[in-house]
Structure 1
Amino acid sequence: MCGAVRFTARDVTPKAGICHCEMCRRWTGSALIGVTVDKASLSWDGTENIAELQSSPWAKRAWCSKCGSGLYYEVTAESPFAGTQELPIGIFDDPDGFEIINEIYFDHKPDSYAFAGSDTRELLTRQDCIDKFSVPNGA
């Protein structure tokens, strides 16, 4: 929001996902709509303004220490997602063109909102995520 942190991402696959877990909802104020990007294809400017919190035993979240904008979610545990960061689509200069392919923790989605097209994408419950991604401690 303030420009103290900027990033460049190369080779971004135009696929996005939505997470409805309680932590993502608290972090973003709603559901996280994010894009998975290999860390090797990211470069960050203003890293002195990036604050991080180990938000669970297996992942951390980062934000701009100047304005509070969420920057990324990163799995820190051994996982198929190690080496990637999940970036909210709202921090891209051009957030157009991403296709939402799944919604995870769908059974935790509040009934106060719904995203169009949920009948055409993969919907995973909390248990589905535990089974598919081997989420430690089930949360």
Structure 2
Amino acid sequence: MHTGSCLCGAISFTVSAPLKGPDACHCSQCRKQSGHYWASTDVQRSDLAITGEEHVRWYQSSPRVRRGFCSTCGSFLFWDPPHRESMAVAMGAFDQPTDTHLHVHIFTAHKGDYYDIADGLPQE
């Protein structure tokens, strides 16, 4: 069982399954919304319980994906493709320990020019 929340605590969540190895997304949308690249893990909807859902606001960032954030503190928590049985949850919102390690960088062709990816992990 893993727990987490937004910065102000208005939204909390529980994941009732082991967490998959997170990825780091370097696409321009994730960078603009999070301020840097965004690390997340995919969670099956059936394993995710959200408390304070009335505080989640959704932004339709593309025709197939919406992004969930806290209406009080602005924490970016969820990347949700409603057509899938899973959604991505922000690694930074989880309480420690997560017992995971970053396993891949994605959309690296779109990464910011102000940093290098030098950790030796696969890049897609």
Report the TM-score, using the length of structure 1 for normalisation: 0.79
Percentage of identical aligned residues = 31
Is the contact made by 1:17 and 1:35 (CA closer than 8 Å) also made in structure 2? yes
Q: Please report the RMSD computed on the Cα atoms of aligned residues, expressed in angstroms.
A: 1.4
CA distance, structure 1, for counterparts of residue 26 and residue 91 of structure 2: 15
Greater relative CO, 1 or 2 (CA 8 Å, sep 6+): 2
Structure 2 counterparts to residues 61-80 of structure 1, below 5 A? 61-77=67-83
CA distance, structure 2, for counterparts of residue 114 and residue 36 of structure 1: 25
Q: Secondary structure at the match of 1:48?
A: helix
CA distance, structure 1, for counterparts of residue 22 and residue 80 of structure 2: 15
Residue 56 of structure 1 deviates from its aligned partner by 0.2
Structure 2 counterparts to residues 25-36 of structure 1, below 5 A? 25-36=31-42
Q: Which has the larger radius of gyration?
A: 1
Which is helix-richer, 1 or 2? Answer: 1
Matched, 1:43 2:73: no
Matched residue pairs, number?
A: 118
CA distance, structure 2, for counterparts of residue 38 and residue 114 of structure 1: 32
Structure 2 match to 1:89: 91
Q: Runs of at least 4 residues of structure 1 off by over 4 A? A: none
CA distance, structure 1, for counterparts of residue 28 and residue 122 of structure 2: 19
Is the contact made by 1:34 and 1:86 (CA closer than 8 Å) also made in structure 2? yes
- The answer for unaligned runs of 5 or more in structure 2 is 1-6
Structure 1 match to 2:108: 106
Residue 96 of structure 1 deviates from its aligned partner by 4.3
Give a deviation string over 1:63-117, Cα, whole Å, max 9, x none: 010110111001134xxxx111111111001154321111111111123123442
